[in-house]
Amino acid sequence: MKSLSKILGPFTPLIGVIILLLVWQIAFWVEVVDHVLLPSPTSMFIAVWQGMSGGQLLFDFFRTIERTALSILYAGIIGIPLGIIFGSSVGLYRSVEFVVDFFRSTPASAVFPLFLAISGPGDATKIQVATFGAALVILFNVAYGVMNARKTRLQAAKVMGAPRFRVLTDVMLFESLPQTFVGLRNGVSLALIIVIVAEMFIGSVDGLGHNVLDNQMLFEMPRMYAAIFVAGALGYSFNLLFLLIERRYVHWSGR
Protein backbone atom coordinates (compact mmCIF):
# COMPACT_ATOMS: atom_id res chain seq x y z
CA MET A 1 0.00 0.00 0.00
CA LYS A 2 2.86 2.30 0.87
CA SER A 3 4.50 1.75 -2.47
CA LEU A 4 1.15 2.40 -4.20
CA SER A 5 0.82 5.85 -2.61
CA LYS A 6 4.44 6.46 -3.56
CA ILE A 7 3.77 5.66 -7.19
CA LEU A 8 0.57 7.69 -7.38
CA GLY A 9 1.89 10.63 -5.37
CA PRO A 10 -0.62 13.45 -5.16
CA PHE A 11 -3.20 11.38 -7.04
CA THR A 12 -3.55 8.89 -4.17
CA PRO A 13 -6.84 10.40 -2.85
CA LEU A 14 -8.39 9.68 -6.27
CA ILE A 15 -8.35 5.97 -5.48
CA GLY A 16 -11.26 6.38 -3.06
CA VAL A 17 -13.19 8.40 -5.62
CA ILE A 18 -12.66 5.76 -8.31
CA ILE A 19 -13.71 2.96 -5.95
CA LEU A 20 -16.87 4.85 -5.00
CA LEU A 21 -17.79 5.45 -8.65
CA LEU A 22 -17.05 1.81 -9.52
CA VAL A 23 -19.23 0.48 -6.70
CA TRP A 24 -21.98 2.84 -7.77
CA GLN A 25 -21.67 1.81 -11.42
CA ILE A 26 -21.71 -1.88 -10.51
CA ALA A 27 -24.73 -1.36 -8.24
CA PHE A 28 -26.41 0.31 -11.18
CA TRP A 29 -25.59 -2.57 -13.57
CA VAL A 30 -26.66 -5.22 -11.08
CA GLU A 31 -29.71 -3.08 -10.35
CA VAL A 32 -29.46 -3.35 -6.56
CA VAL A 33 -32.01 -0.54 -6.44
CA ASP A 34 -34.49 0.49 -9.09
CA HIS A 35 -32.85 2.59 -11.84
CA VAL A 36 -35.33 5.33 -11.10
CA LEU A 37 -34.04 5.62 -7.53
CA LEU A 38 -30.38 5.07 -8.34
CA PRO A 39 -29.41 6.42 -11.75
CA SER A 40 -25.95 5.83 -13.17
CA PRO A 41 -23.06 8.10 -12.20
CA THR A 42 -22.88 9.23 -15.84
CA SER A 43 -26.46 10.44 -15.87
CA MET A 44 -25.78 12.36 -12.66
CA PHE A 45 -22.71 14.04 -14.16
CA ILE A 46 -24.69 14.90 -17.26
CA ALA A 47 -27.34 16.48 -15.03
CA VAL A 48 -24.62 18.39 -13.16
CA TRP A 49 -23.20 19.64 -16.44
CA GLN A 50 -26.57 20.66 -17.82
CA GLY A 51 -27.69 22.27 -14.60
CA MET A 52 -24.47 24.14 -14.03
CA SER A 53 -24.14 25.46 -17.56
CA GLY A 54 -26.79 28.11 -17.20
CA GLY A 55 -29.61 25.96 -15.86
CA GLN A 56 -31.67 26.20 -12.68
CA LEU A 57 -28.98 24.36 -10.70
CA LEU A 58 -26.43 27.12 -11.31
CA PHE A 59 -28.91 29.74 -10.13
CA ASP A 60 -29.75 27.76 -7.01
CA PHE A 61 -26.06 27.15 -6.41
CA PHE A 62 -25.38 30.90 -6.36
CA ARG A 63 -28.37 31.57 -4.10
CA THR A 64 -27.06 29.08 -1.56
CA ILE A 65 -23.56 30.53 -1.76
CA GLU A 66 -24.98 33.99 -1.24
CA ARG A 67 -26.98 32.98 1.83
CA THR A 68 -24.15 30.97 3.37
CA ALA A 69 -21.57 33.67 2.70
CA LEU A 70 -23.79 36.35 4.21
CA SER A 71 -24.47 34.17 7.24
CA ILE A 72 -20.80 33.49 7.87
CA LEU A 73 -19.99 37.17 7.35
CA TYR A 74 -22.56 38.29 9.90
CA ALA A 75 -21.61 35.45 12.23
CA GLY A 76 -17.99 36.55 12.08
CA ILE A 77 -18.87 40.20 12.68
CA ILE A 78 -20.89 39.18 15.74
CA GLY A 79 -18.90 36.20 16.99
CA ILE A 80 -15.30 37.40 16.74
CA PRO A 81 -15.55 40.64 18.78
CA LEU A 82 -17.82 39.00 21.35
CA GLY A 83 -15.46 36.05 21.57
CA ILE A 84 -12.52 38.37 22.18
CA ILE A 85 -14.42 40.33 24.83
CA PHE A 86 -15.71 37.25 26.64
CA GLY A 87 -12.44 35.42 26.31
CA SER A 88 -10.34 38.24 27.68
CA SER A 89 -12.19 38.20 30.98
CA VAL A 90 -12.40 34.82 32.65
CA GLY A 91 -15.16 36.04 34.96
CA LEU A 92 -17.24 37.31 32.09
CA TYR A 93 -16.74 34.11 30.14
CA ARG A 94 -17.68 31.91 33.10
CA SER A 95 -20.89 33.88 33.50
CA VAL A 96 -22.03 33.36 29.90
CA GLU A 97 -20.36 30.01 29.26
CA PHE A 98 -23.41 27.96 30.14
CA VAL A 99 -25.75 29.97 27.94
CA VAL A 100 -23.37 29.87 24.98
CA ASP A 101 -22.75 26.18 25.46
CA PHE A 102 -26.44 25.45 25.79
CA PHE A 103 -27.43 27.21 22.60
CA ARG A 104 -24.41 25.85 20.80
CA SER A 105 -25.65 22.36 21.69
CA THR A 106 -29.23 23.13 20.69
CA PRO A 107 -29.88 21.88 17.14
CA ALA A 108 -30.36 25.02 15.06
CA SER A 109 -33.21 23.29 13.23
CA ALA A 110 -35.13 23.28 16.53
CA VAL A 111 -35.17 27.07 16.72
CA PHE A 112 -36.34 27.39 13.12
CA PRO A 113 -40.06 27.66 13.85
CA LEU A 114 -39.25 30.35 16.40
CA PHE A 115 -37.40 32.46 13.85
CA LEU A 116 -40.15 31.75 11.31
CA ALA A 117 -42.73 33.04 13.74
CA ILE A 118 -40.71 36.18 14.40
CA SER A 119 -39.40 37.05 10.93
CA GLY A 120 -41.72 35.22 8.58
CA PRO A 121 -40.75 32.75 5.87
CA GLY A 122 -38.58 35.16 3.85
CA ASP A 123 -34.95 35.08 2.93
CA ALA A 124 -33.90 37.00 6.06
CA THR A 125 -35.06 34.21 8.36
CA LYS A 126 -32.80 31.64 6.72
CA ILE A 127 -29.81 33.91 7.08
CA GLN A 128 -30.74 34.76 10.66
CA VAL A 129 -30.87 31.16 11.82
CA ALA A 130 -27.63 30.27 10.04
CA THR A 131 -25.97 33.37 11.50
CA PHE A 132 -27.23 32.45 14.95
CA GLY A 133 -25.81 28.93 14.75
CA ALA A 134 -22.49 29.90 13.21
CA ALA A 135 -21.95 32.92 15.49
CA LEU A 136 -22.17 30.74 18.58
CA VAL A 137 -19.61 28.32 17.19
CA ILE A 138 -17.28 31.15 16.25
CA LEU A 139 -17.75 32.96 19.56
CA PHE A 140 -16.96 29.81 21.49
CA ASN A 141 -13.80 29.09 19.54
CA VAL A 142 -12.52 32.67 19.58
CA ALA A 143 -13.12 32.97 23.32
CA TYR A 144 -11.25 29.73 23.80
CA GLY A 145 -8.37 30.95 21.66
CA VAL A 146 -8.19 34.23 23.57
CA MET A 147 -8.26 32.50 26.95
CA ASN A 148 -5.40 30.29 25.91
CA ALA A 149 -3.29 33.18 24.63
CA ARG A 150 0.30 32.84 25.80
CA LYS A 151 0.59 34.81 28.99
CA THR A 152 4.18 35.73 28.23
CA ARG A 153 3.18 37.50 25.02
CA LEU A 154 0.57 39.57 26.80
CA GLN A 155 3.13 40.46 29.47
CA ALA A 156 5.67 41.29 26.79
CA ALA A 157 3.24 43.72 25.16
CA LYS A 158 2.49 45.22 28.54
CA VAL A 159 6.13 45.83 29.50
CA MET A 160 6.73 47.38 26.09
CA GLY A 161 4.14 49.98 26.98
CA ALA A 162 1.16 48.77 24.94
CA PRO A 163 -2.12 50.17 26.32
CA ARG A 164 -4.82 47.64 27.17
CA PHE A 165 -6.68 48.14 23.92
CA ARG A 166 -3.56 47.61 21.85
CA VAL A 167 -2.79 44.42 23.75
CA LEU A 168 -6.20 43.26 22.59
CA THR A 169 -5.76 44.21 18.95
CA ASP A 170 -2.05 43.51 18.55
CA VAL A 171 -1.68 40.35 20.60
CA MET A 172 -4.98 38.78 21.70
CA LEU A 173 -6.46 38.98 18.22
CA PHE A 174 -3.48 37.28 16.60
CA GLU A 175 -3.08 34.77 19.40
CA SER A 176 -6.67 33.70 18.89
CA LEU A 177 -6.49 33.56 15.08
CA PRO A 178 -5.65 29.85 14.74
CA GLN A 179 -8.61 28.94 16.95
CA THR A 180 -10.75 31.55 15.18
CA PHE A 181 -10.19 29.70 11.93
CA VAL A 182 -11.27 26.46 13.55
CA GLY A 183 -14.45 28.32 14.51
CA LEU A 184 -14.90 29.77 11.02
CA ARG A 185 -14.53 26.38 9.37
CA ASN A 186 -16.98 24.72 11.75
CA GLY A 187 -19.23 27.74 11.46
CA VAL A 188 -19.39 27.69 7.68
CA SER A 189 -20.20 23.96 7.66
CA LEU A 190 -23.00 24.57 10.10
CA ALA A 191 -24.26 27.63 8.22
CA LEU A 192 -24.41 25.62 5.00
CA ILE A 193 -26.37 22.83 6.70
CA ILE A 194 -28.85 25.31 8.14
CA VAL A 195 -29.22 27.23 4.88
CA ILE A 196 -29.89 24.04 2.90
CA VAL A 197 -32.45 22.81 5.41
CA ALA A 198 -34.07 26.25 5.42
CA GLU A 199 -34.29 26.20 1.65
CA MET A 200 -36.38 23.04 1.90
CA PHE A 201 -38.98 24.84 4.00
CA ILE A 202 -42.37 26.02 2.79
CA GLY A 203 -42.15 29.32 0.99
CA SER A 204 -38.69 28.73 -0.45
CA VAL A 205 -38.39 29.27 -4.15
CA ASP A 206 -34.69 28.72 -4.80
CA GLY A 207 -31.39 27.45 -3.43
CA LEU A 208 -29.81 24.00 -3.46
CA GLY A 209 -32.09 22.73 -0.68
CA HIS A 210 -35.11 23.74 -2.68
CA ASN A 211 -33.59 22.19 -5.80
CA VAL A 212 -33.01 18.82 -4.08
CA LEU A 213 -36.52 18.69 -2.66
CA ASP A 214 -38.16 19.92 -5.85
CA ASN A 215 -36.46 17.29 -8.01
CA GLN A 216 -37.23 14.59 -5.46
CA MET A 217 -40.92 15.45 -5.64
CA LEU A 218 -40.80 15.54 -9.44
CA PHE A 219 -38.94 12.21 -9.37
CA GLU A 220 -36.11 13.77 -11.41
CA MET A 221 -33.53 11.56 -9.77
CA PRO A 222 -30.40 12.41 -11.81
CA ARG A 223 -31.12 16.07 -11.14
CA MET A 224 -31.66 15.45 -7.45
CA TYR A 225 -28.36 13.60 -7.24
CA ALA A 226 -26.72 16.42 -9.15
CA ALA A 227 -27.99 18.97 -6.62
CA ILE A 228 -26.77 16.82 -3.72
CA PHE A 229 -23.40 16.49 -5.39
CA VAL A 230 -23.12 20.24 -5.92
CA ALA A 231 -24.10 20.87 -2.28
CA GLY A 232 -21.36 18.49 -1.19
CA ALA A 233 -18.83 20.12 -3.46
CA LEU A 234 -19.85 23.49 -2.08
CA GLY A 235 -19.35 22.44 1.53
CA TYR A 236 -15.99 20.96 0.68
CA SER A 237 -14.93 24.10 -1.17
CA PHE A 238 -15.90 26.42 1.67
CA ASN A 239 -13.81 24.36 4.04
CA LEU A 240 -10.90 24.31 1.62
CA LEU A 241 -11.18 28.05 1.06
CA PHE A 242 -10.86 28.77 4.78
CA LEU A 243 -7.99 26.32 5.07
CA LEU A 244 -6.13 28.11 2.29
CA ILE A 245 -6.79 31.53 3.81
CA GLU A 246 -5.60 30.20 7.13
CA ARG A 247 -2.38 28.83 5.67
CA ARG A 248 -1.75 32.10 3.94
CA TYR A 249 -2.48 34.46 6.84
CA VAL A 250 -1.92 32.37 9.95
CA HIS A 251 1.45 31.18 8.74
CA TRP A 252 2.87 30.87 12.26
CA SER A 253 0.20 28.43 13.43
CA GLY A 254 1.73 25.34 14.98
CA ARG A 255 5.33 26.58 14.71
CB of 90 to another protein, least distance (A): 17
Please report whether residue 252 would count as binding another protein according to CB under 8 A: yes
CB of 156 to another protein, least distance (A): 5
Q: Give the helix/strand (H/E) hosting 183.
A: helix 173-199
Task: For the segment 28-87, give every residue that binds another protein (CB under 8 A).
Answer: none
CB of 179 to another protein, least distance (A): 14
Q: Rounded to whole angstroms, how far apart are CA atoms 194 and 109? A: 7
DSSP 241: H
**Of residues 113, 120, 122, 163, which one binds another protein by CB under 8 A?**
163
Main-chain dihedrals φ then ψ at residue 72, nearest 5 degrees: -70, -30
Main-chain dihedrals φ then ψ at residue 107, nearest 5 degrees: -60, 125
Please report whether residue 171 would count as binding another protein according to CB under 8 A: yes
Q: Rounded to whole angstroms, how far apart are CA atoms 186 and 174? A: 19
Residues making up the chain, counted from first to last? 255
Please report whether residue 166 would count as binding another protein according to CB under 8 A: yes
**Of residues 162, 168, 197, 200, which one binds another protein by CB under 8 A?**
162
Q: Rounded to whole angstroms, how far apart are CA atoms 128 and 74? A: 9
CB of 176 to another protein, least distance (A): 11
Binding residues vs another protein (CB under 8 A): 150, 152-153, 155-156, 158-163, 166, 170-171, 174, 177, 250-252, 255
